[in-house]
């Protein structure tokens, strides 16, 4: 499938709720046959996954700048992600995102610890943290004016101590990365909006 056709499909998926789109609609929009579509994707959810991976790129899940950049890309592509989060299919899109983040965090933890298998406590922390991160990202995408940098600071601050130790996360580094100034701007915006301060 030509890159242009994939982009046309992506644009359609930004305009409509995922559960309302049929593969035949996708093929018509892109000007491709069903056989071509199924050559590249198993179903429309596989297409969503591809679009998500295009947005995330080679995200280093522990890198502050990478996470900030990924969140900004999500905010820029708000329509796609808001529709994706509304997906109510058998395996909703947020479930795919959860598995993606869990896999990335587990891979990073195994590398940091130099082990092939993680213990149950670490696996539990990673899943819990990933669930929370996906939920908070959804809330943030749906109208929050909080800067991405402030959200990332809060993500890392809320990280369970076990994971902070594994990934060697030092929350003070977030402030060194210039997030203190951004956080102050975000607080000022919220205070003005609520009339406090």
Residue 22 domain boundaries = 1-41
pLDDT of residue 187: 41
pLDDT of residue 120: 97
Dihedral over Cα of 183, 187, 190, 193: its sign: negative
Q: Are residues 9 and 97 in the same domain?
A: no
Per-residue pLDDT band at 175 (split at 50, 70, 90): low
Q: Are residues 32 and 80 in the same domain?
A: no
Nearest to 50 by CA among 93, 104, 113: 93
Q: Are residues 133 and 87 in the same domain?
A: yes
Task: Give me 164's structure tokens.
Answer: 């902070």
CATH code for the domain of 24 = 1.10.10.60
Cβ atoms of 83 and 138 closer than 8 Å: no
CATH code for the domain of 161 = 1.10.357
Q: Are residues 30 and 114 in the same domain?
A: no
Residue 127 C-beta-side C-alpha neighbours within 13 Å: 8
Task: Give me 51's structure tokens.
Answer: 């679009």
Q: Are residues 114 and 33 in the same domain?
A: no
Dihedral over Cα of 60, 61, 66, 71: its sign: positive
Number of domains in the chain: 2
Q: Are residues 147 and 93 in the same domain?
A: yes
Dihedral over Cα of 161, 163, 167, 172: its sign: negative
Q: Are residues 30 and 54 in the same domain?
A: no
Q: Are residues 15 and 28 in the same domain?
A: yes
Task: Give me 103's structure tokens.
Answer: 């896999």
pLDDT in tens, 92-107: 777 888 888 899 899 9
């Amino acid at each position: 499938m030509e890159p242009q056709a994939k982009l046309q499909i992506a644009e359609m998926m930004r305009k409509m709720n995922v559960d309302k789109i049929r593969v035949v609609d996708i093929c018509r929009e892109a000007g491709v046959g069903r056989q071509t579509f199924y050559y590249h994707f198993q179903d429309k959810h596989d297409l969503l996954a591809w679009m998500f991976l295009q947005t995330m790129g080679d995200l280093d899940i522990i890198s502050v700048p990478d996470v900030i950049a990924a969140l900004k890309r999500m905010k820029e592509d708000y329509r796609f992600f808001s529709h994706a989060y509304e997906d109510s299919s058998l395996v909703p899109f947020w479930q795919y995102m959860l598995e993606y983040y869990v896999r990335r965090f587990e891979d990073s933890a195994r590398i940091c610890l130099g082990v092939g298998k993680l213990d149950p406590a670490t696996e539990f922390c990673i899943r819990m943290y990933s669930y929370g991160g996906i939920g908070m990202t959804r809330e943030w995408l749906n109208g929050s004016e909080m800067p991405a940098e402030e959200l990332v600071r809060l993500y890392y601050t809320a990280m369970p101590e076990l994971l902070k130790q594994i990934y060697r996360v030092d929350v003070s580094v977030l402030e060194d990365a210039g997030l203190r100034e951004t956080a102050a701007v975000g607080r000022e915006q919220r205070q003005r909006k609520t009339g406090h301060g």
